[in-house]
C-alpha cells in the first residue's frame, strides 16, 4: 500500500492494520480496550445529552417525581460512566502507546545503527525518523480511537432514531454521511497535499539549517553568515506559508463540520416537531431526538481531524515499518570463527567510481601488516571494508574474514571481532570517563588512567580540573585534535576480545617522535590481536611485520 492509497477507505483500514502490527499482542489488546472505553465514553455522553433532554421536557409536564426516578438514575449513571470511561481510555491508551513508542524507538535505532555509515542517511533522515516514530502515536490516539468511537456512536444513534422516528433516522444518516464521510474525505485530501508540501519545505529547512550550523565558523570567517541566515529565514517563511494555508483549509473543514452538524440537529428537530404535531410522537421525545442528533454531531465532529491525522501518519507508519522490519541487505547470521583476512581480485566502487581494483591481500591470525601509499588510493577503504562499513553492492571479488564472506557476515559478530580506530574518533558530549568506558564498560578508574598514561595523555589529564569527570563537549569540542586521538587510542588499549584491530592513521595529529611509541602501546595491549596499520610515517609502518603499498585502483604490491 502506498501512502496515497490511504485516501480510500480500504487503504485507511489497511493502514490501521499496519499501524497495529507495529504493536505487540499485549499492546494491541490494551489499545483495543482504550478504543472500547473511548466508544463507551462517547456513547454515554450522547445518551446523557439525549436523556437529559427527555428529562427536562418530561419534568416540564410536572409529573409525579417518582415517575422520573429511572431517568434521573440513568442520567447520574451515564455522567459517571462517561467520566470514568474517558479517564480509563486516556490512561490505558497512553500507557499502551508510550510503551509501543519506547520499543519502536529502540528498534528504529537498532535498524539505523546496523546500516553501513553511508547507508544511514543524513540529519534530515534522522530528524524524520524521530518525528515518524512520534507520529505513530497519533495514528493510535488521534485516529484509530476517535474513528472507532464515532462509527459506534453514529450506528447506535441511527438505530435509536429508527425505532422512534424513521424520518429523523434518515436525517441522521445524511448528517453522518456529510460529517463522517464527505468532509473527512476532503480533510484527507487537504492532509495529503499539506503533508507533502510541509514535508518538502521542512526537509529543505532542516537541510539548510544543518549545513549552516555545521559550517558556522567557516561561514562567519568568509563573511557569508548573513546570506545563509537569509536563506534559512526564507525556508522558514516558506514553511510558515504552507502551514498557514493548511490551517486555513482545516478551519474551513471544521466550520463545514459544525454547520452540517447544526443543520442535522435542526432537520431532526423540525421532523420531530412535525411528527409531534401530527400526534405520531410524544412531545417529550422531540427534545430527546434533537439532543441525540446534537450528541452524535459532536462525536462525528472529530472524524475529519482524525481522518486527516490518519493520512498524515500514513507515510510515517510505512517508514517506521520498513526500518523495523528491514535488515540491511546481504547481512545474515554467519559469524566468522577467527580474524584471518583473504582478499582476492577485489574491486570496490564508491560514489559510482572504482577506487580499488584487482586487489589481493592476506592477513593471517596474529599478523601485523602496514598499509602505505599516497593519499586517496583506497587505504581507508580497505579498513572500512574489514569493519563492515561498505555496502555489499559496492564490493566485487573475493573478500572473506574467518572464511565468511564480508558481504554476508553478521554485523554484530563482525564488530565484536574487528576493532576500528579512526583518524578522528567520535567523542560524545559526556565525561572523559564515559567516553573511555565505551570501550570497556567494566574498567575501573585505575585501568582508565593506565590507558591514558600509555597514550601519553598524562600531562593533559593532570591539568584537567575535574579529572575523569571532565565533560568533553559536543563531539569532543573541548579537546584538541591530538587529545581526541589520544582518547581514541586509549579506547583501543581498553578494548578486549577483538581478533583484529584496524588502525586508520589514529596518531596522525601526535608529534612524530611520540606517535610510534603510542601505537606500539596499542599494538602490545592485546598481543593476540592481529593489526592492519594504515600509516604515512615510515617509523609507524615499521611497527608491522610486513608493509604493503597501495598505489591506485589497479595495483597493490608487497614490500
Binding site for ligand ATP (CB under 6 A): 118, 350-351, 355, 375-381
411 neighbors 337 (Cβ within 8 angstroms) = no
CB nearer to ligand ATP: pick between 11 and 378 = 378
Shortest distance, CB of residue 355 to ligand ATP, whole angstroms? 4
- Closer by beta carbon to ligand ATP, 351 or else 527: 351
The C-alpha cell at 292 is 441525540
Q: In the sheet where 418-421 sits, what is the strand order?
A: 418-421, 500-504, 530-534, 368-372, 546-552, 555-558
Alpha carbon distances (Å) from 300 to 97, 146, 292, 521, 524? 23, 9, 12, 72, 72
Rank residues 304 and 422 by Cβ distance to ligand ATP and give the closer one: 422
* Beta-bridge partner residues of 275: none
Residue 396 grid coordinates = 566485487
Q: Read out DSSP for 63-74?
A: --GGGGHHHHHH
CB 297 within 8 A of CB 49: no
CB of 534 to ligand ATP, least distance (A): 6
Alpha-carbon gap, residue 137 to 159, rounded angstroms: 33
Strand partners, 38: none
Residue (119 or 429) nearer to ligand ATP, CB: 119
* Shortest Å distance, C-beta 221 to ligand ATP: 24
Q: Pairing relation of β-strands 341-350 and 395-401? A: antiparallel
C-beta of 314: minimal distance to ligand ATP in Å? 33
By three-state DSSP, how is residue 479 classified? coil
Tell me the closest approach of the beta carbon of residue 42 to ligand ATP, in angstroms. Answer: 54
Grid cell digits, residue 132: 515518524
In whole angstroms, how close is the CB of 349 to ligand ATP at the nearest point?
A: 9
Q: Please, what is the minimum distance in Å from the beta carbon of residue 17 to ligand ATP?
A: 39
C-alpha cell at 318: 510505512
Q: How far apart are CA 288 and CA 265, in angstroms?
A: 11
Instruction: Give 39 or 381: the residue with its C-beta nearer to ligand ATP.
Output: 381
Enumerate the β-bridge partners of residue 350: 353
When the beta carbons of 259 and 554 are compared against ligand ATP, the nearer one is 554
At residue 215, what are phi and psi to the nearest 5 degrees? -105, 20
Nearer to ligand ATP (CB atom), residue 176 or residue 380: 380
**Closer CB to ligand ATP, 305 or 348, in the complex:** 348
CA–CA distance, 181 with 195 (Å, rounded to integer): 20
Provide the minimum distance between the beta carbon of 375 and ligand ATP in the complex, in angstroms, as a whole number: 3
| Identity of the residue, 42 or 378, whose beta carbon is nearer to ligand ATP in the bound complex | 378
CB of 504 vs ligand ATP, minimal distance in Å: 7
* Residue 505 beta carbon to ligand ATP: minimum distance, rounded to whole angstroms: 6
Residue closer to ligand ATP (CB basis): 353 or 465: 353
CA distance 379 to 395: 15
C-alpha cell of 154?
A: 453514529
What span, in angstroms and rounded, lies between the C-alpha atoms of 249 and 200?
19
Q: Which is nearer to ligand ATP, 142 or 379 (CB)?
A: 379
Smallest gap, in angstroms, from Cβ of residue 350 to ligand ATP?
4
Helices 303-325 and 69-113 meet at what angle, rounded to 10? 30
CA distances from 427 to 158, 438, 488, 532 (A): 64, 10, 8, 23
Residue 531's nearest CA partner among 546, 515, 551, 514 is 546
How big is the CA angle at 10 (ends 9 and 11), to the nearest 5 degrees?
Answer: 90
SS3 387: coil
State which residue, 359 or 492, has the beta carbon closest to ligand ATP: 359
User: By C-alpha distance, which of 406, 378, 478, 399 is closest to 435?
Assistant: 478
Which of 419, 425, 393 shows the shortest CA–CA distance to 408? Answer: 393
Beta carbon nearer to ligand ATP, 132 or 357: 357
The kind and range of the H/E element at 531 are: strand 530-534
Full DSSP string of 144-168: IHHHHHHHHHHHHHHHHHHHH-HHH
Closest contact distance (angstroms) between CB of 347 and ligand ATP is 13
Identify which of residues 118 and 558 has a Cβ nearer to ligand ATP in the complex. Answer: 118
Closest distance to ligand ATP from the beta carbon of 391 (Å): 10
Least Å distance, CB 223 to ligand ATP, is 29
Distance CA 303, CA 12 (A): 13
Task: Kindly state the cell numbers that stand for 28.
Answer: 494491541
Cell numbers for 400: 572473506
Amino acid at each position: 500500500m502506498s501512502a496515497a492509497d490511504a485516501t480510500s477507505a480500504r487503504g485507511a483500514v489497511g493502514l490501521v492494520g499496519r499501524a497495529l502490527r507495529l504493536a505487540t499482542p499485549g499492546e494491541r489488546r490494551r489499545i483495543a480496550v482504550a478504543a472500547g472505553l473511548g466508544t463507551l465514553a462517547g456513547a454515554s455522553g450522547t445518551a446523557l445529552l439525549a436523556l437529559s433532554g427527555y428529562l427536562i421536557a418530561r419534568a416540564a409536564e410536572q409529573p409525579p417525581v417518582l415517575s422520573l426516578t429511572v431517568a434521573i438514575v440513568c442520567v447520574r449513571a451515564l455522567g459517571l460512566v462517561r467520566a470514568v470511561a474517558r479517564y480509563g481510555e486516556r490512561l490505558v491508551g497512553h500507557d499502551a502507546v508510550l510503551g509501543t513508542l519506547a520499543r519502536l524507538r529502540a528498534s528504529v535505532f537498532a535498524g539505523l545503527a546496523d546500516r553501513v555509515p553511508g547507508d544511514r542517511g543524513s540529519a534530515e533522515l534522522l530528524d524524520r525518523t524521530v518525528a515518524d516514530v512520534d507520529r505513530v502515536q497519533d495514528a493510535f490516539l488521534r485516529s484509530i480511537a476517535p474513528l472507532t468511537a464515532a462509527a459506534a456512536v453514529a450506528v447506535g444513534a441511527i438505530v435509536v432514531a429508527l425505532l422512534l422516528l424513521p424520518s429523523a433516522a434518515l436525517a441522521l444518516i445524511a448528517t453522518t454521511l456529510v460529517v463522517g464521510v464527505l468532509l473527512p474525505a476532503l480533510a484527507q485530501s487537504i492532509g495529503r497535499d499539506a503533508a507533502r508540501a510541509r514535508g518538502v519545505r521542512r526537509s529543505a529547512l532542516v537541510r539548510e539549517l544543518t549545513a549552516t550550523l555545521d559550517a558556522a565558523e567557516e561561514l562567519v570567517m568568509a563573511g557569508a553568515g548573513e546570506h545563509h541566515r537569509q536563506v534559512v529565514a526564507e525556508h522558514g517563511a516558506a514553511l510558515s506559508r504552507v502551514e498557514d494555508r493548511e490551517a486555513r483549509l482545516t478551519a474551513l473543514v471544521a466550520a463545514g463540520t459544525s454547520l452540517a452538524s447544526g443543520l442535522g440537529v435542526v432537520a431532526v428537530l423540525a421532523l420531530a416537531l412535525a411528527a409531534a404535531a401530527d400526534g405520531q410522537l410524544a412531545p417529550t421525545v422531540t427534545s430527546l431526538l434533537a439532543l441525540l442528533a446534537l450528541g452524535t454531531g459532536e462525536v462525528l465532529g472529530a472524524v475529519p481531524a482524525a481522518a486527516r491525522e490518519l493520512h498524515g501518519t500514513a507515510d510515517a507508519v510505512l517508514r517506521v515499518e520498513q526500518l523495523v522490519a528491514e535488515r540491511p541487505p546481504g547481512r545474515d547470521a554467519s559469524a566468522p570463527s577467527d580474524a584471518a583476512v583473504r582478499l582476492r581480485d577485489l574491486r570496490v566502487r564508491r560514489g559510482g567510481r572504482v577506487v580499488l581494483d584487482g586487489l589481493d591481500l592476506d592477513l593471517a591470525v596474529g599478523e601485523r601488516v602496514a598499509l602505505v601509499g599516497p593519499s586517496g588510493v583506497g587505504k581507508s577503504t580497505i579498513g572500512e571494508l574489514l569493519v563492515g562499513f561498505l555496502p555489499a553492492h559496492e564490493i566485487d571479488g573475493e573478500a572473506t574474514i574467518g572464511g565468511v564472506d564480508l558481504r554476508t557476515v553478521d554485523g554484530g559478530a563482525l564488530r565484536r571481532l574487528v576493532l576500528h580506530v579512526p583518524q578522528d574518533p567520535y567523542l560524545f558530549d559526556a565525561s572523559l570517563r564515559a567516553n573511555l568506558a565505551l570501550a570497556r564498560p567494566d574498567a575501573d578508574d585505575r585501568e582508565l588512567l593506565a590507558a591514558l598514561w600509555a597514550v601519553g595523555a598524562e600531562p593533559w589529564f593532570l591539568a584537567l580540573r575535574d579529572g575523569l569527570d571532565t565533560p568533553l563537549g559536543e563531539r569532543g569540542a573541548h579537546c584538541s585534535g591530538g587529545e581526541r586521538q589520544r582518547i581514541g587510542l586509549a579506547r583501543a588499549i581498553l578494548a578486549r576480545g577483538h581478533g583484529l584491530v584496524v588502525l586508520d592513521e589514529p596518531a596522525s595529529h601526535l608529534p612524530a617522535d611520540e606517535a610510534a611509541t603510542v601505537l606500539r602501546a596499542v599494538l602490545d595491549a592485546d598481543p593476540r590481536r592481529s593489526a592492519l596499520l594504515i600509516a604515512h610515517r615510515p617509523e609507524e609502518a615499521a611497527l608491522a611485520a610486513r608493509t604493503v603499498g597501495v598505489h591506485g585502483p589497479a595495483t597493490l604490491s608487497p614490500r
